[in-house]
A and B are shown apart, each in its own frame.
Chain A
Amino acid sequence: MTVDLQLSVNEQIYPLTVDTRETLLDTLRERLDLAGSKKGCDHGQCGSCTVLVDGRRVKSCLTLTVTVDDQPITTVEGLAGEDGLHPLQRAFIEHDAFQCGYCTPGQLCSAAGMLAEAARGWPSAVTPDVAADPVLGEEEIRERMSGNLCRCGAYPGIVAAIEEVAR
């Protein structure tokens, strides 16, 4: 079964006819040629498909496209601004925060969403006093980024890059 809708991705409107079964990840990659978002596990466990929906980080492999036709979507292709790469992208390069790069688009989108959560004062599972404002150190960053796996094990660089942007 299909639905006609308009999808707003990286500030561009795409009129589409989508199968109700289509995930946002497949729509982005297969229909819109936005292949930055990656398919790793396709079960919400690896984080390589992470995108921002209305500014919040989500897993696009568990998001049905028909459910997000009224919300702005940002993918890794939309992170860079007019004045060049996003600060997280620059920091990832600076800190060698990747080897093969497959998880990187998801890491970047997840980190962008995570920094916005931290800026709003959201606690995490390792925040000592859940009622207090968290301080974003290494342990907090590792916990908050646990939804993104890196099989190359570039975690030290990823954490360092995010820590630099968080400062």
Chain B
Amino acid sequence: MRPFAYERPADVRSAVATLGAGTDAMYLGGGTNLVDLMRLGVAEPGTLVDVTRVTPAAIEETPDGGLLIGAGVRNGDLAAHPLVRRRYPVLAQAVLSGASGQIRNMATVGGNLLQRTRCSYFQDVTKPCNKRSPGSGCPARTGDHRNLAIFGHSESCVATHPSDMAVALAALGAVVHVEGPGGARTVPMPGLHRLPGEDPSRDTVLEPGDLITAVEVPALPLAARSRYRKARDRASFSFAVVSVAAVLELDGERRVRDCRIAFGAVAHVPWRAGSAEAALRGAPATVEEFARAADAEVRGARPLPLNAFKVPLAHNLLVRVLADLAETS
């Protein structure tokens, strides 16, 4: 591991000033991904700026009934919070389905959003990878891409974003609060993450020095009926093969009044399923209609030879989650 300096800034402003100075410094949250990437030689910061003591670590109610979640909140505390569990079960379930108890105790909300892909080529410095080493190529396209993207990938990169939490936040329309060299601003999800295009080295729209300070989840009463479901290769402590976050509200005639849907592990971003949502609104809450909506979404998929199975998996997972939610409505 390359030697690095360790700094504990006094507040958010001085943290941003440290990184904004054009250095090779990086922010350190829980370290569950970054420390491993440093050990693998994938990340080589000259300075680590530990932000765990300066980013807010509390969850507060906003005046309109939403939640403001500090970026320093640990994943375990987020999933355990009574208001998260009651108002946004999809968010609690998504967080609980990720990693292990120990990792969730360490990982922060801000760090979870900014974790890197688990594409095996990205994590192996002896292999080419356009995300890690721009211009070196993408062996995954013709190599091992079984668990990589089916939506929105490019010639340069077929990586997926590994977060479960981000999928729920994308479905809920969360807003990310950012403090940067130019001041404070907000970034609505799913717009925080970006498709790879010709520059897969950038996972998000954040600029150098930007620090996520909080994630705001809007008031969304229908989210009390929501669910996260994750298909994976083993029952626990495993990344998703495909996951889905869904919020469903029916009217008195059992038609879909409103819904929110996002897929995980299918793209470089948490994949908000706008086509499925549009097909569902106003439709009868039947398995046939749920299947039609899922068709509308997966029609846009461009699977690679080894991950074509993800298309029917995503379809069937969505139908099942919607059926489960409708059953309890």
Contact = CB atoms under 8 A, between A and B. Distances in A.
Interface of A: 1, 3, 19-21, 23, 42-44, 47, 50, 56-59, 62-64, 66-67, 110, 113-114, 117, 120-125, 127, 130-131, 142-148
A143 B236 contact: yes
A64 B96 contact: no
15 contacts: A21-B4, A43-B39, A44-B103, A58-B106, A59-B106, A62-B31, A62-B103, A63-B106, A64-B35, A122-B80, A124-B96, A130-B85, A130-B93, A131-B86, A147-B100
Contacts of B80: 117, 120-123
A110 B101 CA distance: 8
A57 B100 CA distance: 10
Contact of A147 (B5, B28, B89, B99): B99
A1 B93 contact: no
B157 interface: no
A20 B32 contact: no
Contact of B76 (A64, A122, A130): A122
Contacts of B100: 47, 146-148
B36 interface: yes
Nearest to A51: B102
Interface residues of B, number: 35
B92 interface: yes
Given A62-B103, A117-B80, 17 more contacts: A20-B48, A21-B1, A21-B3, A42-B39, A44-B32, A59-B106, A63-B35, A64-B6, A113-B101, A113-B102, A114-B101, A123-B85, A130-B85, A130-B89, A130-B96, A145-B101, A148-B100
Q: Which of A44, A56, A117, A124 has the most CB of B within 10 A?
A: A44
Nearest to B52: A67
**Which 4 pairs from chain A and chain B are nearest by CB?**
A147-B100, A146-B236, A146-B237, A125-B96
Contact of A63 (B4, B31, B93): B31
A67 B105 contact: no
B36 A3 contact: no
A88 to B, nearest CB: 15
A20 B36 CA distance: 14
Interface string B82-94: 1001100100110
B79 interface: yes
B106 A62 contact: yes
Interface in B26-62: 28, 31-32, 35-36, 39, 48, 50, 52
A59 to B, nearest CB: 5
B112 interface: no
B18 interface: no
Contacts of A57: 101-102, 105
B156 interface: no
A20 B6 contact: yes
Q: Which of B50, B100, B106, B235 has the most CB of A within 10 A?
A: B100
B97 interface: yes
Contacts of A146: 100-101, 235-237
A131 B35 CA distance: 33
Contacts of A145: 101
A147 B86 contact: no
A94 B214 CA distance: 47
Given A1-B4, A44-B32, A58-B106, A117 B101 contact: yes
A5 to B, nearest CB: 10
Contact of B31 (A67, A143, A144): A67
Interface in B97-120: 97, 99-103, 105-106
B4 A123 contact: no
A42 B39 CA distance: 9
Given A67-B52, A123-B96, A125-B236, A59 B103 contact: yes
A147 B96 contact: no
Given A125-B97, A130-B89, A147-B237, A62 B6 contact: no
B6 A66 contact: yes
Given A21-B1, A113-B105, A130-B96, A62 B89 contact: no
B257 to A, nearest CB: 22
Contacts of B97: 125
Nearest to A43: B36
Given A120-B80, A125-B236, A47 B96 contact: no
Contacts of A23: 35
Interface in B105-154: 105-106
